[in-house]
Amino acid sequence: MIEPEEHLSPDGTLALQVKLLDGGDVAIGFRGHAWHTHADILASVSGCPESDAVRRFVEDVLADRAIIAVQSFDDVVHDVWITDDPSSHRKYQQANETLNFRYWSGRKYTEAD
């Protein structure tokens, strides 16, 4: 069974949430930001049951095995999401947009990672 949970990043800037929605759906995302994914999507991609897929996803984020994109416009954070291809986001970057890539611990992502 999937339980709601929230994790605050060590630097206090991000909160990862697992939320139970009406109808039994489960959403995972960052508090205050639009991007999210769903347990059924994670399960279909991983081939695991939903509860295992959610647990793996959360653990990957918390253990710095997932790259977090932070999108800002004019120095105000607009959205936060998980990505496996940071360079793909840069090619559509707007003039007043800043994209930073990091890990849960706050360590910056570099292309060498």
User: 7-44 pLDDT, tens per residue?
Assistant: 999 999 999 999 999 888 999 999 999 999 999 999 99
Same domain? For 58 and 71 the reply is no
Residue 90 has pLDDT above 90, yes or no: no
Domain, as residue range, for 40: 5-62
DSSP letter assigned to residue 13:
S
Residue from 17, 38, 36 nearest 79 by CA = 36
Predicted pLDDT at 18? 98
Same domain? For 58 and 83 the reply is no
Contact indicator for 31, 22 with CB cutoff of 8 Å = no
Q: Count how many domains the chain has.
A: 2
Same domain? For 80 and 58 the reply is no
CA dist list (Å): 108 to 11, 54, 74, 93, 101: 12, 24, 20, 19, 6
Same domain? For 25 and 71 the reply is no
Whether 109 maps to a domain, the answer reads: no
Same domain? For 75 and 56 the reply is no
